[in-house]
Amino acid sequence: MALMPEALDVTCPCCQAQLKVDPETAAVVWVDQKKAPPKDFDDLVNRVHAQRSTLDEKFARSFQQNRNQRDILDKKFEEARKRAAADPDGRPPNPFDWD
């Protein structure tokens, strides 16, 4: 009867990381990531500028949605005010009475 090794050493085919796998549970117990090669400074600067433009676009979209949301809420409030003025003795619906 052969003894099982304490842990199996496996190399990931995708990222070339070294994995230690427990043979009894088939769980990865340790991962040694392969370090990425250092990047060129100009590439990093270009990436930061690209991220900045993406963030600026997201901010502009969020700002516009926020502005539109305020207009929508104002219109809903005015509509509710008109309905309340039209029926001053009426009570607003109670959400607990909807059952």
Note the pTM of the prediction, 2 decimals. 0.36
- 47-91 pLDDT tens trace: 899 999 899 999 999 998 888 888 888 999 999 889 888 887 777
Helix, coil or strand: residue 79: helix
- Residues across the chain: 99
Q: Does the pLDDT at position 31 exceed 50?
A: yes
Helix, coil or strand: residue 29: strand
- Residue 25 near residue 7, CB atoms below 8 Å: no
